[in-house]
Structure 1
Amino acid sequence: MRNLNENTITQAVINRNEGTQNERLKEIMVSLVQHLHSFAREVELTEKEWEVGIKFLTDVGQICSEKRQEFILLSDTLGLSTLVIAQNHRKPEGCTEATVFGPFYVSNAPELALGANMSEGVKGTPWFVSGTVKSIDGKIISNAKVEVWQSDDDGFYDVQKDGLDHFEGRAIFNTNEKGEYHFETILPDAYPIPHDGPVGKMLQALNRHPWRPAHLHFMITAKGYERLVTHVFKENSEYLDSDAVFGVRSSLVSEWVQHENGQDPYGNRHNTPFSTLQFNFVLNPIVETKK
């Protein structure tokens, strides 16, 4: 293996990796090496271009922190996240579709009672969200864990705010015996993904915008069912057809009903505008395969 050239290097690398005992790792690495080398040959990659590529990946890693995941943004904006999700979450027709996870989820959000306001004290238009969680066969799913998170009406998540020592716009709810969930929050708006870093520079170079349409994140888990990670998007929101992270599905676009004033779903009178959303989720049962 001393006199390798552009025609023999690919197989040499594959042969060098043959010693792994992990068959899945071997399969992935063979394909990765083949595709990477084919890419370099196809575009006739120069040394200078590869130096720029290495610096870009280095910058992506260096900007990552507990509050920022630039590699998720990179995966999202290249459509890779959507591809991986789509091929790993093929569901029967009628199940709620999955979409991108996003970089702003946190695992220790507060658990609140149904009906609670998860954006207490945050400025914005009051928003009342409700719906059900059921199985594809219509079975009610009680005690499903419904994790919800969103931006504020300025487009920022709580984890993006310096000095904030409490959660805003995120919570965990559990469905009742009828499979129902309901809570209060504020209307989020369209917002740009963080674009002050290397991914933002990439989008600018590609003449692409960084904006996402208005949406609400959900992650729903229940015993015996596949986990669902999804969004609900605002009908007629700007950027539905040009979402920077390719996350929109037609089935996830819903009307966010505007009310100029009147009685909210909890019986309280509003003399100012508020909105409501009713969205039902349908989960796919886990099918156990026989060994």
Structure 2
Amino acid sequence: MTDTTIEQATAAASGAAATEQFRSKQRAGTTDVDTKRVDTLVSDLLSATHEIIRRHKVTYAEYDALKSWLIRVGEDGEWPLFLDVWVEHVVEEVANENREGSKGTIEGPYYVPDSPRLPAEATLPMRDGEQGTALLFQGQVRSVDGTGLAGATIEMWHADNDGLYSQFAPGLPEWNLRGTVVADDQGDFKIHTVEPAPYQIPTDGSCGRLIAAAGWHAWRPAHLHLKVSAPGHQLITTQLYFKGGEHVVDDIASAVKPELILDPSPVAEGTGREVTYDFVLDKA
């Protein structure tokens, strides 16, 4: 991949793509709204904001800076990025607090549905000579009672060796490092791919200005994204990280959990690494 491609992966382009993906998902979903629930949540949000203003004696200059920044977030199309990085991990925590099976974490802004369907042992679509350490990711999908789930689907997507996602950065094939693997009759699967790299969230837009103003870093650790599902069971959305990887302990999105850290080992023959990780799904 060329430096030009990396430079062109701007916050504006990434934000526009993430916003359109979110709008597509909303158009396909329900629009029913419980007015009492909206009243409760918005009233509490405003009350918390008022308390912050009083507690910290917010000045008009700071208030105007906030208004300007909020306007720019919308203009830059970065609301999906902002919410997914700094808010979604708590929504996920609450939504899944009663699960008995595998741990989940945030979806993030870079999911695209309907990736190519692949057999139980498959290689994710990738370019010839795709850079990165070869990785065999294998395991079983089963129910909480231990039953292997035949035909379970494992959607996987992840960044490349430059930290870029297909459909969110120019120059990448449409489905690069994205696929939906269908497990075998026992729920077993084997996915051949390459290890992703850590990456910075885009910093040339409004989220980057917030990060700079607060003195934070903008890095996410290397991770695999997955959505795992089977008939009669709850879908799990998760990310898996790599033991000892950069920023596993200080992920800007606060999405890392101990149960989600992989520890791959060298393959017995050839080059690359392999790891086994099973998914346990709750009944619907």
Compute the TM-score of the two structures, normalised by the length of structure 1: 0.80
1:191, 1:33 → 2: CA distance? 34
What is the match of residue 82 of structure 1?
89
What is the match of residue 274 of structure 1?
272
Percent of aligned pairs sharing the same letter: 27
Task: State the number of aligned residues.
Answer: 250
Shift of 1:53: 0.9
Compute the TM-score of the two structures, normalised by the length of structure 2: 0.81
Shift of 1:43: 2.3
Change (3 A) 1:125 1:119: farther
Shift of 1:134: 0.9
1:226 matched to 2:234:
yes
Contact 1:119–1:184, Cα closer than 8 Å, also in 2 = no
Shift of 1:77: 3.8
Contact 1:148–1:218, Cα closer than 8 Å, also in 2 = yes
Q: Deviations over 1:161-186 (max 9, x none)?
A: 31445210111111111011212111
2:206, 2:85 → 1: CA distance? 12
Q: Deviations over 1:31-89 (max 9, x none)?
A: 2332222222222322222221122122212222xxxxx223322443x2111111110
Shift of 1:92: 4.5
What is the match of residue 245 of structure 2?
237
Shift of 1:130: 0.8
1:112, 1:232 → 2: CA distance? 20
Contact 1:115–1:183, Cα closer than 8 Å, also in 2 = yes
State the one-letter code of the partner of 1:111.
Answer: R
**Structure 1: unaligned runs, 5 residues or longer:** 1-19, 65-69, 264-269, 287-291
State the one-letter code of the partner of 1:186.
Answer: V
What is the match of residue 104 of structure 1?
110
Change (3 A) 1:256 1:72: farther
State the one-letter code of the partner of 1:24.
Answer: R
Structure 1 segment 41-190 matched on structure 2, within 5 A:
41-64=54-77, 70-78=78-86, 80-93=87-100, 95-120=101-126, 121=128, 122-190=130-198
State the one-letter code of the partner of 1:90.
Answer: E
Displaced runs of 4 or more, over 4 A: none
Which of 47, 64, 69 is matched with 1:34 structurally? 47
What is the match of residue 266 of structure 1?
none
Contact 1:215–1:234, Cα closer than 8 Å, also in 2 = yes
SS for the counterpart of 1:159 is coil
**Structure 2: unaligned runs, 5 residues or longer:** 1-32
Change (3 A) 1:28 1:179: same
